[in-house]
Structure 1
Amino acid sequence: SSMDRVLVHSASFGSNAQAMAAGLAVLTVMEDEETVANARRTGDLLRERLAALVDRYELLHEVRGRGLMIGIEFG
């Protein structure tokens, strides 16, 4: 029926067992090595040090971000 097509969902690697195994291995390593927590700590330190530069240099307007995804606004 036409409703059968509405319920179909696909993904690029959805039926690829090797890709799924590789993805699971990556997530396992990230969890074991506490990659996310390390990125959070390192990002906090980096933002803190960059924020100190905002007060010193007129060119820098704002530092923001989360983890190691950091944006620096110039202006």
Structure 2
Amino acid sequence: ALIDGTMMLGASRGTLTFAESIFFIIGVVSASFIWDMGMTTAFNVFRHKIPDKLLLWINLISGIIVVVYGIFLFVEGGKQLF
């Protein structure tokens, strides 16, 4: 989420005027806060009903996605440098 948010903010900021970028950044920060708080609240409400094995798989799949995305960014950054 942090990598994606940083990339989105940086890429989109270049196409906006200063006045537009303020509202854009406020919107992104607000949406991120609402999403994170909503997910945290939902997890805390349902954590006793979710099997440990399912949580393990969710964490494993999420970790694989982050690692693959990080490798992709590293490779693309290397292409840009060389």
Q: TM-score per shorter chain, which class?
A: 0.3 to 0.5
Say which structure, 1 or 2, has more relative contact order (CA 8 Å, 6+ apart). Answer: 1
Tell me the TM-score normalized by structure 2: 0.34
Q: Write 1 or 2 for the structure with the bigger share of strand.
A: 1
* Bigger Cα Rg: 1
Q: Write 1 or 2 for the structure with the bigger share of helix.
A: 2
Tell me the TM-score normalized by structure 1: 0.35
